[in-house]
Structure 1
Amino acid sequence: MSIRNRVMAGEQVLGAMIFEFFSPGIPQLLCNAGCEYVLYDMEHTGIGLETLKTQVAHCRGLPITPMARVPRGEYHFLARALDIGMRGVMIPMVDDGAEAARIVEATRYPPVGRRGAAFGFPHDNYSGGDPKDKIAAANASVTVIAQIETERGLENVDAIAATEGIDVLWVGHFDLANFLGVPGEFQNPVYLDAVRNVVEAARRHGKGLGFMPADTDWAREYKGYGFNMLAVGTDHGLFAKGVGSVLQAVEEA
C-alpha cells in the first residue's frame, strides 16, 4: 500500500524533513533511523530542481519515499518536482478550496487533473510500458500535502480538506502562530484551538494529518492530537543539538 493510502487510512508514517544536508548518504542514514519518507525543502533553503533530482537518485533502491516542499502551489513547481521523481509534494500556505483544486489539477494526470505527460523519465524510472497504467499508478500514489498555516487557510480548512486529491493537512506551526497573532506561543489557546480545527477537518474528510516535531516532546504531543504523518526536523537543528550535548558533557566532565 502506498504512503498516500496508508496516511489517509490513519496509519502512522514517519519520516524526516531536510533543509541543509543534501549529501548522498542522507537517505540511507534516514532508512537506518526508521524513516519511510524524506521531505526536501525548497521553500526556505534556496535549493532548486537540479539539486532535488540528484536527491531522488540517492533514494533509488532504498525503502524510502522522496517528497518535496515546493515554494508555492504553482504548476511549474508541482509538476516538475513530480517529473524529476518526487513521489509527493507539500504546498505551503494553502488558503482556500479554489487553490486546493488548482494544486490537484497540477499534480494529477487527466481525467483527474491536467498534469502534462512525459513518460520514460525519472518519475517512472526511465522505463517503458503502457501510459494508461502509468497514469493510473501515479494518480493513485502521489501524495499531495496542503499546509494549513495562515488565518485564511484555517478559515477555509473544511473546503481544503473536502477537495478530492488533497491527501494530507499539515500544520505549519510557526507561520500559523504568526498569522494568528501569537508568534512562538504554541501553548496559547488561540493556536491550540486552530490545531483542533485542522484535526477535526481532516477527520471529517478522511485525510491524513502532518506535523514536523523538533523533539520527542513535540512528537508525543502531536501524535496525541491525532497527527499520523510526522517528519522529524530540522536536520541542522538536530545536528547542532547533538554536537552541543557532546561538547557540554565534555565541559562538565
Structure 2
Amino acid sequence: MAVNPIKSKLKEGKCVYGSWIRIPSPIIVEALGNVGFDFLHVDMEHSSIDLQMLDYLVLAGYRYNIPLAVRTATQNPADLYRIMDIGYSSFVLPRIESAEQCAHLLKGARYTPAGTRGLGGAVRANGWGEMPLEQHLTEAEDDTLMIIQIESEEGLKNLDAILDVPGIDVVYIGPLDLSQALGYPGQIDHPVVADTIASLIKTIRAKGIAVGIHAATTLQAQAWAEAGIQYFTVALDVSLLQSAGRTVVGQLKNKQ
C-alpha cells in the first residue's frame, strides 16, 4: 500500500476534487470512480448507507483505484477502526467543536502509541492476516487521512486549540452549516459568511494544514482555489443524476 495519494498531492500544493456518495450502491462508486475524480466521500451522516454497504462500496473503490473517505455519523472512536478494518483509511469527521473531542476521535484511527485503534487480527486492511504486522502498522499510518469539519459557532470559537491537535490533514469547511451558525442560513455569499471563510483559510493554512470545502459550482471551486483552498467536493451523486436527467428532459421537451 503506497502513501495516500491525496496526502501526497496536498503536500505538493495541488488541488484535489471529489464528490459525495449518498446512494447505497457500489455501482455509483464504480460509475463516478471512473470519470476522473481524485476521491469520493461516502456519506453515512446524511444517507441510509450502513456498515454492510460500506463493505461493498470499498470493493467498488478498489475496482477503479479511487480513494474513498467515509463521513461518520457517530462520535465513537471504535467505529473508526471498525471501518478501517474493512479497508478504508480516510475519514471526514463532522461537528468538531473542541480540541478534546477532536483528539479523542483521531486517536481511534491510529495504532499505539499515537492512538487507540485495536488490532483486529485477520482483516481486509492487513490482507486477511497475510501482511506482516510491522508492515501493516507502518502502512496504516502512511495511508491514513483525517479530515475534520468546522461548521458551528463552538467550532469557530475553539479553532486555534483544535488546530493544535496532532494528526489533522484537512480542515473541511461546511459552508451551509457555517452560514447557519453565523445567522445567515444558506447565504454562502453573505459578506459575514464570506469573510469568515476567508479568515478560516488564513488561520488554517498558517498552521500548515490543508483547507477543504464543498463548492456548489465549478466556478465557486475555482474562486476558492485562488483563495488558497486545495481540497474540494463538488455536487453529489443524487444532484448529478438529477442534473443529467433535467438536461435530457429539457432538450426533448423544447423540441416539441
Which of residues 45, 48, 51 is equivalent to 1:49? Answer: 51
1:221 maps to which residue? 223
2:211 maps to which residue? 209
Which of residues 2, 9, 21 is equivalent to 1:18? Answer: 21
Gaps of at least 5 residues in structure 1 are: none
Matching of residue 151 in structure 1 with residue 188 in structure 2:
no
Q: Which amino acid aligns with 2:233?
A: A
- Comparing 127-136 and 61-70, the one that deviates more: 127-136
- Residues 212 and 232 of structure 1 are in contact (CA less than 8 Å); yes or no, is this contact kept in structure 2? yes
- Residues 160 and 166 of structure 1 are in contact (CA less than 8 Å); yes or no, is this contact kept in structure 2? no
Identity of aligned residues (%): 28
Could you give the per-residue CA deviations for residues 154-190 of structure 1, whole angstroms, max 9, x where no partner exists? 1222222221101110011111111111101111121
State the 4+ residue runs in structure 1 displaced beyond 6 angstroms.
Answer: none
2:108 maps to which residue? 106
Take 1:66 and 1:125, find their aligned partners in 2: how far apart are those partners? 18
Residue 62 of structure 1 deviates from its aligned partner by: 2.4
Mapping 1:177-192, distance limit 5 Å:
177-192=179-194
Residue 127 of structure 1 deviates from its aligned partner by: 4.3
C-alpha change, 1:241 and 1:129, in structure 2 (3 Å) is closer
- Residues 73 and 103 of structure 1 are in contact (CA less than 8 Å); yes or no, is this contact kept in structure 2? yes
Q: Which amino acid aligns with 1:12?
A: C
Q: TM-score, normalised by structure 2?
A: 0.91
* Secondary structure of the corresponding residue to residue 108 of structure 2: helix
Take 2:227 and 2:105, find their aligned partners in 1: how far apart are those partners? 27
Q: Which amino acid aligns with 2:104?
A: R
C-alpha change, 1:211 and 1:125, in structure 2 (3 Å) is farther
Take 1:166 and 1:122, find their aligned partners in 2: how far apart are those partners? 25
Q: Which amino acid aligns with 2:55?
A: K
Number of residue pairs aligned between Structure 1 and Structure 2: 252
- Residues 33 and 40 of structure 2 are in contact (CA less than 8 Å); yes or no, is this contact kept in structure 1? no
Could you give the per-residue CA deviations for residues 2-27 of structure 1, whole angstroms, max 9, x where no partner exists? 2224324432222221112x333333
* Secondary structure of the corresponding residue to residue 215 of structure 2: coil
* Secondary structure of the corresponding residue to residue 39 of structure 1: strand
- Comparing 164-173 and 227-236, the one that deviates more: 227-236
Q: TM-score, normalised by structure 1?
A: 0.92
- Residues 30 and 63 of structure 2 are in contact (CA less than 8 Å); yes or no, is this contact kept in structure 1? no
Root mean square deviation of aligned Cα: 1.7
Mapping 1:1-253, distance limit 5 Å:
1-2=3-4, 3-20=6-23, 22-253=24-255
Could you give the per-residue CA deviations for residues 58-99 of structure 1, whole angstroms, max 9, x where no partner exists? 122422112200013321322222121112010111001111
C-alpha change, 1:9 and 1:94, in structure 2 (3 Å) is farther
Take 1:142 and 1:186, find their aligned partners in 2: how far apart are those partners? 31
Gaps of at least 5 residues in structure 2 are: none
